Amino acid sequence: MFTRQQLHCLEAARNSNRFDYFSDGMADATW
């Protein structure tokens, strides 16, 4: 399950087409 914060970050990343909100090594990946 995702936490509310994670869901917010996922939505923000989807909206901006970037993974800027993640620190799992995919920070520079684009959708």
Break the chain into its structural domains and give their ranges.
Answer: 1-31
pLDDT at 24 over 60: no
CA torsion 15-8-27-18 (nearest 10°) is 0
State how far the Cα of 24 lies from the Cα of 2, in Å rounded to an integer.
Answer: 15
Residue, of 24 and 9, whose pLDDT is higher: 9
Strand partners of residue 30: 18
3-state helix, strand, coil in the chain (%, to 5): 40, 5, 50
More confident residue, 29 or 2: 2
For residue 8, the 8-state DSSP code is H
| pTM summary value | 0.38
